[in-house]
């Protein structure tokens, strides 16, 4: 069901280390069927060349910009390319907010329809943030409408659809750590559920979906400092939740050890953080 | 998994080295460190502290592991795609207008041009019959009208007793015809039908009072009885208003073709007269005796049936089309 990328076009955004799934693979293969989009891709390729070396903007952002400009002039195919690129992460955000596959699908579809209807309202910034904002608003609307809090556990819902596991957070990962990570995911999902809405949203967008602080601030309409402080508290709370559960704590300790053993290269910070800081 | 003692927030930036060396790191600083969000100068201090403080090293390791775990949570593949179909290509761009138009068309008394404007550019299956049906209905209506009116006008001119019957019976039929196009939404481009309708109305005007009394004739079988009913009310109504001669003259002059058409059907003005007489005798007129229905009457009936069927078809098609 998940097609691998055949060839990487010049404008293909590099897969982020934080987004484990190759979200663009299917959209790119589908893109080849569409002839109308040649000019879009071409123009974005030119754009990419033009911008290279000026700003450290990710290639994906430039591509999104080109696509949304085309969509704003009425090109539905360009918009559908955006949909294909972002539908999976948007769906995952909705899913983790709503904890219901059917509702999450409805919210995702509604979000894209609204985005298309209000395509003119996009001015500038991150397309991804804009889409997430519409999707999260829609998800919260649906939560309110169904007057149902996301109390259910994700794993009950998730038997319906297939999880896609990333290769590993920061590169190499021992098989042991990988297995532990999968075991721990249940506890992590529970911990996310127990977070307050605002904290869950931040940690979900930053850590689970891989947005940067600015995009999250844009998505949620909050200040950058608020994003950081909420993220700190959310992570601390998740860690505390893991520590409070006996089984989870034991797994977590083993995971810590495996991280410690497999290298300071992989995990911490010290060696990585010595690199010059872009931000 | 005890949390190490924590410095007060926002003081993780030690002004003096000694404090940094002895106190622990702030949670925000730890997160900033993990996210590589620390300025280089502070980063140096941070790392210095880390190397000397196992507790803080442990905390950084735990938070970082938590972040790795969160990043490693699985993504879920949706069961379907969310791309928008081509129907959104039109709807998305012209949504406000379309919404307004459909709101208008959903009103029961929508103006005809608006209803026509809402029709999708690509006609659904079956609706290509619609123009043909409309033309056929128009033709049938005109024929029926001309035959009836011409017929009645002719004999009305002859028999004074039936002078009243002529315009009112015609009014009954005219009403049926005039009402039918109103019931079905007329296409905006069908100017001939519109003209037909408007001329009908002017003709029917003198006997409006009478036609009020007449029930609308929807079924062919009802045509004659309606004519008869109209007669009863008409004898009062018309007398109050225009003089019979005036009405007759108007009918006769405004329908030059009617006489011709009744001639075309080679019957039997006499028989027609007597048949009309039969229908009207029940209320007002002294009768000529009970003669069998003429061929003209049969033609009228047939036309009325066809017209009714066409109208039902047209209205049905319109209705189906609007549902889409």
Contact B72 A169 (CB under 8 A): yes
| pLDDT tens readout for residues B121-157 | 333 445 567 778 888 888 888 888 888 887 777 766 6
Among the listed residues A147, A140, A130, A153, the one whose alpha carbon sits nearest the alpha carbon of residue A104: A140
Percent with pLDDT over 70 in chain A: 64
Contact A108 B79 (CB under 8 A): no
Q: How far is B28 from chain A (nearest CA, A)?
A: 6
Q: Compare all CA atoms of chain A with the CA of B92 and give the residue at the minimum distance.
A: A117
- Under 8 Å between Cβ of A54 and A61: no
Paired residues of A164 in beta bridges: B75
For an interface test with A, which of B2, B30, B66 has the most A Cβ atoms less than 10 Å from its Cβ? B66
pLDDT at res. A90: 94
Q: Compare all CA atoms of chain A with the CA of B65 and give the residue at the minimum distance.
A: A256
B136 close contact with A: CB closer than 8 A: no
Give the length of chain B.
324
- Under 8 Å between Cβ of A191 and A242: yes
Distance between alpha carbon B181 and the CA centroid of its chain, in Å?
Answer: 15
pLDDT at res. B128: 67
Q: Compare all CA atoms of chain B with the CA of A259 and give the residue at the minimum distance.
A: B65
Give the length of chain A.
279
Q: What distance in Å separates the CA atoms of residue B276 and residue B230, rounded to the nearest whole number?
A: 13
C-alpha dihedral (A235, A238, A239, A240), degrees to nearest 10: 120
The three-class DSSP label of residue A163 is strand
Chain A residues close to B3, C-beta within 8 Å: 236, 240
Q: What distance in Å separates the CA atoms of residue B205 and residue B94, rounded to the nearest whole number?
A: 43
**Strands, E assignment, chain A:** 163-164
pLDDT at res. B134: 83
Non-local (6+) Cβ contacts of B105 within 8 A are: B114, B115, B118, B322
Among the listed residues B231, B221, B234, B223, the one whose alpha carbon sits nearest the alpha carbon of residue B148: B223
- Read off the pLDDT of each residue in B43-61 and give the average, rounded to a whole number: 90
The three-class DSSP label of residue A201 is helix
Q: Is the pLDDT confidence value at A167 over 90?
A: no
Could you tell me the pLDDT band of residue A144, with boundaries at 50, 70 and 90?
Answer: confident
Chain B residues close to A161, C-beta within 8 Å: 76-79
Among the listed residues A130, A21, A15, the one whose alpha carbon sits nearest the alpha carbon of residue A82: A130
Sign of CA pseudo-dihedral B235, B239, B242, B248: positive
Non-local (6+) Cβ contacts of A86 within 8 A are: A23, A127, A128, A131
Chain A residues close to B40, C-beta within 8 Å: 276-277
Question: Of B67, B80, B83, which has the smallest distance from its Cβ to A80's Cβ?
Answer: B83
Q: Is the pLDDT confidence value at A137 over 80?
A: yes
Q: How far is A261 from chain B (nearest CA, A)?
A: 12
pTM over 0.90: no
* Residue A269, burial from CB neighbour count under 10 angstroms (0-12, 13-18, 19+): buried
pLDDT at res. B139: 86
Non-local (6+) Cβ contacts of A144 within 8 A are: none
Which token pair is A96? 């983790």
Higher pLDDT, B174 or A261: A261
Higher pLDDT, A73 or B183: A73
Among the listed residues A155, A136, A152, A137, the one whose alpha carbon sits nearest the alpha carbon of residue A193: A152
Q: Which residues of B233-248 are buried (b: 16+ CB within 10 A; e: fewer)?
A: bbbebbeeebebeebb
Paired residues of A163 in beta bridges: B76
Q: Is the pLDDT confidence value at B197 over 50?
A: no
pLDDT at res. A161: 75
DSSP codes of every residue in A63-128: HHHHHHHHHHTT-HHHHHHHHHHHHHHHHHHHHHHH--HHHHHHHHHHHHHHHHHTGGG--SS-HH
- Under 8 Å between Cβ of B155 and B166: yes
pLDDT at res. A60: 60
pLDDT at res. A19: 36
Write phi, then psi, for B76 (nearest 5 degrees): -110, 135
Most confident of A37-41, A155-159, B75-79: B75-79
Among the listed residues B231, B245, B234, B172, the one whose alpha carbon sits nearest the alpha carbon of residue B209: B234
- Return the H-helix or E-strand segment holding B192: helix B191-204
Question: Of A105, A276, A277, which has the smallest distance from its Cβ to B80's Cβ?
Answer: A105
Q: How far is B113 from chain A (nearest CA, A)?
A: 27
Q: What distance in Å separates the CA atoms of residue B156 and residue B163, rounded to the nearest whole number?
A: 5
Q: Name the DSSP class of B199.
A: H
Among the listed residues B304, B93, B316, the one whose alpha carbon sits nearest the alpha carbon of residue B184: B316
Looking at the predicted complex, does its ipTM rise above 0.85? no
pLDDT at res. B294: 76
pLDDT at res. B148: 81
pLDDT at res. A267: 41
Q: Is the pLDDT confidence value at A48 over 90?
A: no
pLDDT at res. B77: 87
pLDDT at res. B145: 86
- Read off the pLDDT of each residue in B254-269 and give the average, rounded to a whole number: 48
- Under 8 Å between Cβ of B116 and B129: no
pLDDT at res. B282: 41
Between CA B213 and CA B219, with CA B214 as vertex, the angle to 5 degrees is 160
Q: What distance in Å separates the CA atoms of residue B168 and residue B248, rounded to the nearest whole number?
A: 10
Q: What distance in Å separates the CA atoms of residue B47 and residue A38, rounded to the nearest whole number?
A: 50
Higher pLDDT, A35 or B63: B63
Higher pLDDT, B294 or B98: B294
């Amino acid at each position: 069901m998940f097609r691998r990328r055949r060839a990487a076009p010049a404008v293909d955004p590099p897969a982020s280390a934080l987004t484990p799934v190759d979200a663009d693979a299917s959209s790119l293969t589908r893109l080849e069927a569409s002839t109308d989009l040649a000019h879009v891709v071409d123009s974005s390729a030119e754009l990419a060349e033009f911008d290279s070396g000026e700003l450290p903007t990710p290639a994906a952002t430039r591509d999104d910009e080109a696509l949304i400009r085309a969509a704003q002039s009425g090109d539905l195919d360009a918009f559908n390319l955006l949909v294909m690129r972002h539908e999976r992460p948007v769906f995952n955000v909705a899913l983790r907010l709503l904890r219901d596959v059917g509702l999450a699908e409805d919210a995702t579809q509604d979000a894209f329809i609204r985005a298309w209807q209000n395509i003119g309202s996009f001015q500038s910034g991150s397309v991804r943030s804009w889409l997430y904002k519409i999707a999260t608003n829609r998800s919260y609307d649906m939560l309110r409408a169904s007057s149902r809090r996301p109390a259910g556990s994700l794993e009950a819902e998730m038997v319906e659809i297939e999880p896609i596991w990333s290769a590993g957070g920061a590169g190499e990962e021992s098989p042991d750590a990988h297995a532990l990570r999968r075991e721990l995911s249940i506890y992590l999902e529970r911990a996310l559920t127990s977070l307050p809405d605002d904290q869950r949203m931040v940690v979900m967008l930053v850590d689970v979906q891989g947005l940067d602080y600015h995009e999250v601030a844009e998505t949620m309409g909050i200040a950058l400092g608020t994003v950081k402080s909420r993220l700190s508290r959310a992570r601390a709370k998740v860690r505390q939740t893991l520590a409070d559960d006996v089984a989870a704590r034991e797994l977590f300790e083993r995971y810590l050890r495996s991280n410690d053993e497999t290298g300071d290269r992989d995990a911490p910070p010290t060696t990585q953080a010595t690199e010059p800081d872009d931000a | 998994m005890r949390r190490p003692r924590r410095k007060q927030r926002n003081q993780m930036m030690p002004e003096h080295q000694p404090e940094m060396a002895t106190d622990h790191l702030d949670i925000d600083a730890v997160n900033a460190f993990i996210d590589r969000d620390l300025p280089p100068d502070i980063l140096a201090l941070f790392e210095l502290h880390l190397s000397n403080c196992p507790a803080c090293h442990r905390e950084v390791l735990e938070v970082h592991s938590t972040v790795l775990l969160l990043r490693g949570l699985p993504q879920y593949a949706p069961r379907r795609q969310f791309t928008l179909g081509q129907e959104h290509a039109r709807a998305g761009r012209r949504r406000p207008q379309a919404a307004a138009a459909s709101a208008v068309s959903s009103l029961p008394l929508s103006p005809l041009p608006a209803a026509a404007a809402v029709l999708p550019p690509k006609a659904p299956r079956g609706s290509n019959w619609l123009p043909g049906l409309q033309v056929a209905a128009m033709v049938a209506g005109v024929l029926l009208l001309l035959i009836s009116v011409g017929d009645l006008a002719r004999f009305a001119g002859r028999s004074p007793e039936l002078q009243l019957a002529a315009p009112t019976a015609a009014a009954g039929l005219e009403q049926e015809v005039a009402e039918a196009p109103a019931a079905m939404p007329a296409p905006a481009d069908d100017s001939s039908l519109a003209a037909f309708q408007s001329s009908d109305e002017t003709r029917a005007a003198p006997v409006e009072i009478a036609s009020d009394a007449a029930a609308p004739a929807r079924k062919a079988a009802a045509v004659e009885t309606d004519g008869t009913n109209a007669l009863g009310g008409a004898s009062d109504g018309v007398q109050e208003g225009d003089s019979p001669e005036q009405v007759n003259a108007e009918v006769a002059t405004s329908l030059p073709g009617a006489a011709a058409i009744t001639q075309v059907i080679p019957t039997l003005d006499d028989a027609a007269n007597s048949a009309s007489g039969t229908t009207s005798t029940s209320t007002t007129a002294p009768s000529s005796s009970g003669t069998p229905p003429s061929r003209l009457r049969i033609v009228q009936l047939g036309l009325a049936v066809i017209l009714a069927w066409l109208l039902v078809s047209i209205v049905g098609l319109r209705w189906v089309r609007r549902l889409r």
